[in-house]
């Protein structure tokens, strides 16, 4: 009778391969898992929740909710293949060492990540097993184009999106995604794991995620449903419609991509197939793929310039005279700035864990240029409240709006929150949904209720300073202050 995994190995059973899941919570088009399954050896898939390794970049509250449900989906996927997903929580290296000891595994496969802390962790894993006769293999799978493969004519990383994307596209179409065709061999011995419910990733007392189950379906199946819906409807007017938050013209796929529930190659080829079936969609699909390109560019920047989450990419912005104003920051976080388009975005974020990309730019511009509050404060808030929180996208996006990043929007381009609302929420549907106090406000005053005559305000039940705030700053004065702060840096 076999008494232990190591004894089983001793009498001739094949040693298992540990597949260490990270931001790749899927089974299809996952090179490392495919390699493990193709070996014919038993595979032990595991996920380790390590809050220590990322430091202050540990997952925020919204992301933890998504992680819980994504792991449920992944575990169900494995169960349908007769395999158990092992969950453990704690310090990664010691837990992997324990898993090797428990099972006699001689190989650990995983997908790479691009965050500085994640790269450091990969090095620690390599070092820990270098002298233990345990093979450690890293694979791609989270990006279409690995950062080392894209360089300018001088061999240097790109700092501007357009030539970066041109270089990516010059290499032709990415490889076709591969489903996991092989049968995964389950390790014959039970492997101790933890109960997901014990991790308490979902909020309680209060449960601010109560409605999210009706809005989101974490997991590969939910991701594919999002892609299919988008390619049936949203893609037809994507170039224009993607800027209008009231319309359903975007994929809302970003949380699924952030957790690796679907590969970007699969998204790419599904979009390409839609264009092949209807040549009239080619322009729309190209525009959509360029948005995937911005995700690639953000990871390219993070890999080559790993301090962008902490420091301004443009050196002169490291001297910028940011203000510390807890009151204004809190008003922004709560959607109580008095500017309806800004408030609608911040409330959408709090209630759904998501914000439309056009609105992300508007609220970020307001924080950094109207309130002169550091972009890191905004990035930190997004990190905790966004379901799709991703260090590369979050850091590069905030620096782009602030004007301090690579290929950034010029600092002097200051979004007017009034005209942005008038231009991108023409019928006011978005504002009225998320700022119901203003639902009866006439279109003329919807983006600037303080300009409405008192009789109009009374007729629609709006009492400024009572049930809706006065603007916390004046747009013209705030714009002048922002430009003066820019001028203080000297040559820009």
pLDDT of 3 above 70:
no
Across the strands, what pairs with 44?
A: 18
Give burial (CB, 10 Å; 0-12/13-18/19+) of 27: buried
CA 367 to CA 377: how far, in whole Å?
9
Contact indicator for 93, 20 with CB cutoff of 8 Å: no
- Establish whether 322 is a catalytic residue: yes
Find how far residue 278's CA is from the centre of its chain: 30
Average pLDDT for the chain: 94
User: Catalytic residue among 165, 212, 268, 398, which?
Assistant: 398
Q: pLDDT digit string (tens) for 157-211? A: 999 999 999 999 998 899 999 999 778 988 988 999 999 999 999 999 899 998 9
Residue of 353, 349, 384, 351 lying closest to 363 (CA atoms): 349
pLDDT of 10 above 60:
no
Q: What's the average model confidence in pLDDT over 402-406?
A: 93
Q: What's the average model confidence in pLDDT over 240-245?
A: 93
Instruction: Give the 3-state DSSP-derived string for 112-160, with helices as H, strands as E and coil as C.
Output: CCCCHHHHHHHHHHHHHHCCCCCEEEEECCCCCCCHHHCCCCCCCCCCC
Q: What's the average model confidence in pLDDT over 115-135?
A: 95
Residues 6+ apart with CB under 8 A from 363: 332, 342, 345, 346, 355, 378
- Establish whether 294 is a catalytic residue: yes
68-69-72-78 Cα dihedral, nearest 10 degrees: -110
More confident residue, 489 or 329: 329
User: Catalytic residue among 187, 268, 375, 381, which?
Assistant: 375
Residue of 356, 392, 400, 384 lying closest to 251 (CA atoms): 356
Sign for the CA dihedral angle at 38, 40, 41, 42 comes to positive
The whole-model pTM stands at 0.95
Q: pLDDT digit string (tens) for 255-306? A: 999 999 999 999 999 999 999 999 899 999 999 999 999 999 999 999 999 9
* Packing angle, helices 391-402 and 375-385, rounded to 10: 150
Q: What's the average model confidence in pLDDT over 89-105?
A: 97
User: Catalytic residue among 291, 310, 429, 451, which?
Assistant: 291
User: Catalytic residue among 165, 294, 381, 434, which?
Assistant: 294
- Establish whether 375 is a catalytic residue: yes
pLDDT of 9 above 70:
no
Helix (H) or strand (E) holding 407: none
- Establish whether 357 is a catalytic residue: yes
CA 149 to CA 41: how far, in whole Å?
31
User: Catalytic residue among 57, 199, 208, 322, which?
Assistant: 322
> What pLDDT is attached to residue 12?
54
pLDDT of 311 above 50:
yes
363-417-336-354 Cα dihedral, nearest 10 degrees: -40
Q: What's the average model confidence in pLDDT over 331-359?
A: 97
Residue of 287, 345, 340, 315 lying closest to 405 (CA atoms): 315
Q: What's the average model confidence in pLDDT over 464-472?
A: 97
CA 466 to CA 146: how far, in whole Å?
53
Q: Please state whether the peptide bond connecting residue 420 to the residue before it is cis, i.e. omega within 30 degrees of 0.
A: no
Give the angle subtended at the CA of 56 by the CAs of 50 and 57, to the nearest 5°: 65
Q: For each of the domains in the chain, give its residue range(s) and CATH number, in order of start.
A: 5-142 (3.40.50.620), 143-176+220-304 (1.25.40.80), 315-487 (1.10.579.10)
Count the neighbouring beta carbons within 10 Å of the beta carbon of residue 68. Answer: 18
CA 28 to CA 46: how far, in whole Å?
16
CA 365 to CA 324: how far, in whole Å?
16
Kindly indicate the confidence band of residue 321, based on its pLDDT and cuts at 50, 70 and 90. very high
Residue of 128, 138, 71, 78 lying closest to 108 (CA atoms): 138
pLDDT of 113 above 90:
yes
Q: What's the average model confidence in pLDDT over 414-429?
A: 96
Chain length of the chain = 492
Helix, strand or coil, per DSSP, at residue 439: coil
pLDDT of 334 above 90:
yes
CA 33 to CA 209: how far, in whole Å?
32
> What pLDDT is attached to residue 363?
98
């Amino acid at each position: 009778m076999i008494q232990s995994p190591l004894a089983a190995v001793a009498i001739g059973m094949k040693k298992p391969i540990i597949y260490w899941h990270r931001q790749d919570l899927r089974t299809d088009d996952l090179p490392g898992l495919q390699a493990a399954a193709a070996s014919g050896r038993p595979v032990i898939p595991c996920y380790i929740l390590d809050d220590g390794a990322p430091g202050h970049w540990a997952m925020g509250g919204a992301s933890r909710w998504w992680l819980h449900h994504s792991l449920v989906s992944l575990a169900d996927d494995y169960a349908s293949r007769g395999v158990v997903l092992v969950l453990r929580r704690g310090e990664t290296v010691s837990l992997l060492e324990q898993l090797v000891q428990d099972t006699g595994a001689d190989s650990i496969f995983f997908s790479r990540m691009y965050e500085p802390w994640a790269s450091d962790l990969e090095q620690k894993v390599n070092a820990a097993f270098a002298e233990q006769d345990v093979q450690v293999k890293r694979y791609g799978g989270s990006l279409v184009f690995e950062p080392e493969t894209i360089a300018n004519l001088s061999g240097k990383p790109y700092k501007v999106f357009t030539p970066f994307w041109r270089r990516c596209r010059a290499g032709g179409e990415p490889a076709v995604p591969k489903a996991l065709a092989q049968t995964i061999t389950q390790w014959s011995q039970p492997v101790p794991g933890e109960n997901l419910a014990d991790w308490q990733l979902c909020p309680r007392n209060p449960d601010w995620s109560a409605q999210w189950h009706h809005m989101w379906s974490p997991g590969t199946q939910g991701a594919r449903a999002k892609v299919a819906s988008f390619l049936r409807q949203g893609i037809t007017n994507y170039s224009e419609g993607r800027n209008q938050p009231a319309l359903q013209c975007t994929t809302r796929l970003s949380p699924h991509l952030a957790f690796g529930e679907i590969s970007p190659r699969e998204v790419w080829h599904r979009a390409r197939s839609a264009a092949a079936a209807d040549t009239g969609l080619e322009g729309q699909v190209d525009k959509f793929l360029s948005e995937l390109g911005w995700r690639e560019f953000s990871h390219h920047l993070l890999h080559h310039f790993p301090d962008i989450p902490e420091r301004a990419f443009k050196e002169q912005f490291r001297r910028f005279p940011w203000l510390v104003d807890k009151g204004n920051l809190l008003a922004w976080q709560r959607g109580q700035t008095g500017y309806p388009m800004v408030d609608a975005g911040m409330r959408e974020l709090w209630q759904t864990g998501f914000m439309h990309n056009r609105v992300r730019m508007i609220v970020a511009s307001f924080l950094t240029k109207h309130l002169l509050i550091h972009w890191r404060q905004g990035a930190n808030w997004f990190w905790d409240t966004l379901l799709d929180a991703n260090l590369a996208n979050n850091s590069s996006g905030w620096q782009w709006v602030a004007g301090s990043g690579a290929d950034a929007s010029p600092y002097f381009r200051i979004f007017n929150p009034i005209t942005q609302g008038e231009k991108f929420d023409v019928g006011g549907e978005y504002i009225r949904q998320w700022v119901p106090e203003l639902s009866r406000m006439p279109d003329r005053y919807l983006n600037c209720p303080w300009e409405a005559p008192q009789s109009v305000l009374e007729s629609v039940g709006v009492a400024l300073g009572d049930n809706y705030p006065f603007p916390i700053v004046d747009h013209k004065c705030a714009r002048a202050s922002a430009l003066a702060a820019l001028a203080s840096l000297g040559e820009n």
